Amino acid sequence: MMAHKFRSLISNKIIQVLDGFPIGDRGVKPSTLIPYIQVDPKAGSKPEFQVSLKALQQQGLINNDLRNQKDFISCGSALIEKFDTDPTIPGIYLVQDKTDVRLNFKVNNSQLVSEVVKITTHRPNSFWRCSALVNLLPFQKVVVEYSSPNIAKPFHIGHLRSTIIGNFIANLHAALGHNVTRINYLGDWGTQFGILKYGYDARNITEKDLEEDAIKKLYEVYVWANQKAESDPSVSSKARDIFNKMEQGDNRELETWEFFRNVSIKEFKHVYERLNVKFDEYHGESMYSAQKCQEVLKLLEQKNLLQTLEDGRKVYEVNPKQKVTVVKSDGSSIYLSRDIAAAIHRQEEYKFTKMYYVVDNSQSDHFVALFSIIRNLGFEWAESMTHIKFGRIQGMSTRKGTAIFLQDLLDEAQEIMMQKQQETETTRDDVRLSGAETAGRVATSCVLIGDMKQRRQRDYVFSWDKALQSRGDTGVKLQYVHCRLLSLEGNCGVDYNPEANTSCLTEPQALTLIMEIARFDEVLVQTYRELEPCILVSYLFKLCGTINNAIKLLQVKSAPLEVAEARLALFMAARHTLAAGMNILGVKPLSKM
């Protein structure tokens, strides 16, 4: 129920008014209206919901003849006249601005407060799931593919963003009750493995050398061999031979390759752990080697979708201006053909109703081609695939250089954070003792929030200073407010009482906080519609501001028992809301800092 009870009540009442109303539509279900009934963002401490008349018109509930402000006002007034107020919804009035006319509904303060606090404290890990708004979303079987680094090449910033944003998308779907499969699709196939293996042999490297820092060492070897290949064509041809052997299933070559793959995954997993990221499956391009791609090729040829060029390549025409290679002249598989095979395999395996590829903007053309091919192969599920794009980050480099190894990045963030902690006098002693661990986790929160604060598609300039600031909108703030609430709960001298009398929460600061909490489901749904983490991030910052104001004014310790219990319940509701939001973003809430 939560604030959702009010949404349902209001929509039922609107429907009653519309029914028999000259311009209204009959037979409308409340579910049509619920998404349009929103907490009034300007209400402040007044518990009010609102609905836009323009939105009702878009739903076909109000006559299209209404064009100007005056028409809308007279329609709104007529609706108000017919509307029956009652103790739960004691008032209704019109609000107008330049672009719209809205109906505002006053709701019963103490009923709203009690609903919101109770549901949030009783079901801290799922309170938003009882929202009618959330329940209107159709169930999805979702595959989210994210991170997908290349083995033996550095994990670059694009992979970091994919990891952060993809993890968020998977968390969000899971929080909303969908079935989610998280896939890491490793770049573990292709001629670069021939080059790597060539370098590995030529420099007499052994497995023992790779016991530590395997990814960095493999990368060094790869760079070395690549440079050599540039000046010596025989290296490239050797590398190609090695890869061809791999494609044909040569055990000796595959053994080394498998070793590279395993040590890399092992290291990636450490870093993912620091980032609080998990996968259900580690897939890789290697699963779709030449043979699998042969089947794809057959399908494409049956449908007459390929042209053979003079040089022997087989290409697919995405549009008259864009042709893409699907098969190389030597018949070996490539990135695109592997992706076609992978998509088909995933549909068979997971029967997804949605699949998200979380990959940077620069691969847009690739995904346009992939989706077009799947569509033209006649797979109706082509429409359920989406490329979740994101922009570049400029200026994110570590002291050691611009090729980013994620581990260095996180280490550096942690170091800077520790320095900052030591400089801050107000840092509590026990925090200084728990030093590195806490600093590491706060720093990770900062990296995550710093990234998700922006609209996905925007390129942005990264600055350590900005991301790790303790003031302003950073990960530090979210963690700090969360810890502050927990410490308040532990030190306020009263115990949580599920039956607390919440009707003593009448101060504007308390009501503003309630309204902010009541908005959580709306924010989740909007975040889900746009798959933009920044919507949730900016909500959480606003929530933190509201919490801070409330903490200042609503003392718990010194208040009479009844009031203290009610305030404690309110602050717990606020903490659960904050924690739920942070968890969805992949930021693990800390208990002290």
Residues marked active site are found at 153, 156, 159
Residue 148 or 502: which CB sits closer to ligand ARG? Answer: 148
Residue 322 or 362: which CB sits closer to ligand ARG? Answer: 362
Determine the residue type at 167.
N
Alpha carbons 12 and 25: distance in angstroms, whole number: 14
Q: Provide the sign of the torsion angle of the four alpha carbons 410, 142, 381, 536, taken in this order.
A: negative
446 closest CA partner among 405, 404, 418? 418
176 closest CA partner among 519, 452, 525, 588? 525
Minimum distance of ligand ARG from residue 356's CB (angstroms): 10
Q: What are phi and psi of 266, to 5 degrees?
A: -60, -45
Residue nearest to ligand ARG (CB): 187
Residue 114 or 148: which CB sits closer to ligand ARG? Answer: 148
Alpha carbons 354 and 143: distance in angstroms, whole number: 6
Structure tokens at 60: 């076909």
Minimum distance of ligand ARG from residue 157's CB (angstroms): 11
Q: Provide the sign of the torsion angle of the four alpha carbons 107, 109, 110, 114, taken in this order.
A: positive
Structure tokens at 340: 């076609």
Alpha carbons 61 and 34: distance in angstroms, whole number: 13
Residue 205 or 382: which CB sits closer to ligand ARG? Answer: 382
User: What is the binding site for ligand ARG (CB under 6 A)?
Assistant: 145, 148, 150, 185, 187, 339, 357, 359
Roughly what angle, to the nearest 10 degrees, separates helices 214-231 and 233-247? 130
Minimum distance of ligand ARG from residue 267's CB (angstroms): 16
Alpha carbons 117 and 1: distance in angstroms, whole number: 11
Residue 352 or 357: which CB sits closer to ligand ARG? Answer: 357
Q: Provide the sign of the torsion angle of the four alpha carbons 129, 134, 136, 138, taken in this order.
A: negative
Alpha carbons 539 and 578: distance in angstroms, whole number: 10
Q: What are phi and psi of 281, to 5 degrees?
A: -140, 140
Minimum distance of ligand ARG from residue 481's CB (angstroms): 36
User: In a 3-state reduction of DSSP, which class is residue 470?
Assistant: coil
Residue 148 or 577: which CB sits closer to ligand ARG? Answer: 148
Alpha helices, DSSP H only, in 305-463?
335-350, 364-376, 406-423, 429-452
Residue 257 or 357: which CB sits closer to ligand ARG? Answer: 357
284 closest CA partner among 314, 306, 305, 254? 254
Residue 247 or 521: which CB sits closer to ligand ARG? Answer: 247
Pair 590, 482: CB distance under 8 Å: yes
Minimum distance of ligand ARG from residue 335's CB (angstroms): 7
Q: Would you say how long the chain is, in residues? A: 593
Minimum distance of ligand ARG from residue 186's CB (angstroms): 7
β-pairing verdict for 141-145 and 354-358: parallel
Counting beta carbons within 10 angstroms of the beta carbon of residue 378, is it exposed (0 to 12), middle (13 to 18) or buried (19 or more)?
exposed
Minimum distance of ligand ARG from residue 366's CB (angstroms): 7
Structure tokens at 259: 């070793």
Minimum distance of ligand ARG from residue 150's CB (angstroms): 5
Alpha carbons 580 and 567: distance in angstroms, whole number: 20
